Amino acid sequence: MSETTIEKAAPPVVEFRTSPDSYRHFAVEYDGDVATVKLAVDEQGGLVPGYELKMNSYDLGVDIELYDVVQRMRFEHPEVKAVVMTSGIERMFCAGANIRMLAASPHSWKVNFCKFTNETRNGIEDATANSGQKWIAALNGTAAGGGYELALACDDIVLVDDNSSTVSLPEVPLLGVLPGTGGLTRVVDKRHVRKDRADLFATKSEGYRGDTAVDWGFIDATFPRGSWDEEISKRAKAAAAESTRSGQAGEGVQLTELQRTIDGDSISYGHVSAQIDRARRTVDITVSAPTEQPPADAEAARAEGVDYYPLALARELDDLILHLRANELEIGTWVLRATGDQDLVLAHDAKLTEWADHWFINEVNHYLKRTLKRVDVTSRSLLAIIEPGSAFVGTLLELALAADRQYMLEGVYEDVDADAAPATIRLTEVNDGRYPMGNGLTRLQSRFFGRDEDLEAARAVTGQDLDAAAADKAGLVTLALDDIDFEDELRIVIEERAALSPDALTGMEANHRFVGPETMETKIFGRLTAWQNWIFIRPNASGPDGALRRYGSGQKGEYNLERV
């Protein structure tokens, strides 16, 4: 299949659920408290026909497997304290994202691919920071572009000293694009490389090797092949000895296949459902509260495994977000609802706090955090609807706070159920610390950024059930409306959203959501994503004579030389 044919063809439906018995690109070995992840990409295993994954290059399918590896390492193997990531191919760690795949992919595919790979790299860093699993990049060959960016997500980078293997970020000189998964940011913000040296590095397509790479800070160490295995083993054992991870072998929770049903435009899980309205380009997403009290203790929660409500919720929301982002590009507005017993939500939240030091509960808390972060960086308009029967309290309230607007019904629907109890919401301590956004602030802090008095006023009502008037007064909802105006207002805002430019909305929403301090994450998902989004559609990169298109042809890209 030609590149032109790939671009014109409808993109495939992307399935993010996988398991080790389906891996085509990764092999994982366990040895006590050390695991080894080997990347050996199947050249014929591309997610889309038309390219070969040569030189351990990757596409979205490879990264879907890596994400699964990271998740299973955290939940299924609590005994693992150090992870060595290396290559199953001699003299080539990873050549990065497959160039032919990128050149032939539609714009939306490129952008979604980069976003997911960024989230996966962040997941590796989160495992190091919050699970006590230190990742070591054992580069037994060249790491170029996205291959080096994969290494940058690790805490420790070691390169073989064989007079040929290098690390490099060649995207700017060779392809006319930026390193797409945070390489520019991590080099200066994480590894603290001087900006002049970083500039040299990012424009030197062949990169650096050996002692220079160590001296300038691109890697942490380099060893010859003769002592390679011994040195990597030493570093892994030392990392494991320093780990704070408390889980033991045999205590892991198996991430069994997630059950999902798709029936036409309906998507359903155990606690999450979605109904797509293609005419209005919306999807109604409903999250259900738990129906039972939490288990007796943390060990009982671990024994419930994937049926433990907070873990089940995180898995289902995670999968739905990924499915909608990749496969429903024209569904631009997500309408969020939470229903069920508020007291049961709060009961589970209380135990997540009480048992936070248990390794399994710690993983669940951080998985919920990462899933909510995935909501934040999703380029869709988010509306939260709060009406009788809503369960927007505690953890579930985070979904409403993540939304761009919140609409709350005053009283009840008189013509539907006049005897219903009016909707209420409740802030709890989990809304003020447990689930930070990528900017390092909570969604509550982000909502009232620079308005300290309003933030303190909202904090003052923590623990109280707030009806529409009280929630409006506390600044926690956008509009509180009676049932005469409620449905008309929602109809108007949804129609208005559908009439606006999706490109402009994406930029607007991203700017509003991430207020305050800039962090490595906000740079990656804000600055990098925005610039790469633009560069991907510029002729200098993606035009018929652009560098990305011409790569490998022997011809250099032709550039419009205006600096804009």
Catalytic residues: 149, 171
Count other Cβ atoms within 10 Å, centred on residue 142: 26
Instruction: Evaluate whether 529 touches 513 at the Cβ level (below 8 Å).
Output: no
* Backbone dihedral angles phi then psi of residue 139, each to the nearest 5 degrees: -85, 95
Give the number of C-alpha atoms closer than 13 A to the C-alpha of residue 40, restricted to the C-beta side: 9
Structure tokens at 28: 């994982």
For residue 426, what are the contacts with CB-CB under 8 A and spacing of at least 6? Answer: 342, 346, 393, 394, 397, 463, 464, 465, 466
Residue 487 makes CB contacts below 8 A (sequence gap 6+) with: none
Q: What's the length of the chain?
A: 564
Q: What is the phi/psi pair of residue 36, to 5°?
A: -120, 125
Beta strand 381-386 with 405-409: parallel, antiparallel or unpaired?
A: parallel
Helices (H) and strands (E) in the chain, counts: 23, 17
How far apart CA 70 and CA 41 sit, in angstroms, is 17
Q: What token pair was written down for 221?
A: 């160490």
Q: Which two tokens stand for residue 98?
A: 């497959």
Residue 165: closest CA among 225, 105, 217, 88: 225
In Å, how far are 14, 24, 50, 395, 476 from 398, measured between CA atoms?
Answer: 27, 37, 42, 5, 11
Cα dist from 239 to 232, 233, 471, whole Å? 11, 10, 48
SS (H, E, C) 6-51: HHHCCCCCCCCCCCHHHCCCEEEEEECCEEEEEECCCCCCCCCCCC
CA nearest to 176, candidates 434, 556, 541, 562: 541
Q: Annotate 153-203 with DSSP letters as a single string.
A: TSSEEEEE-SSS--EE--IIIIISS--TTSHHHIIIIIS---HHHHHHHHH
CA pair distance 25, 20, nearest whole angstrom: 10
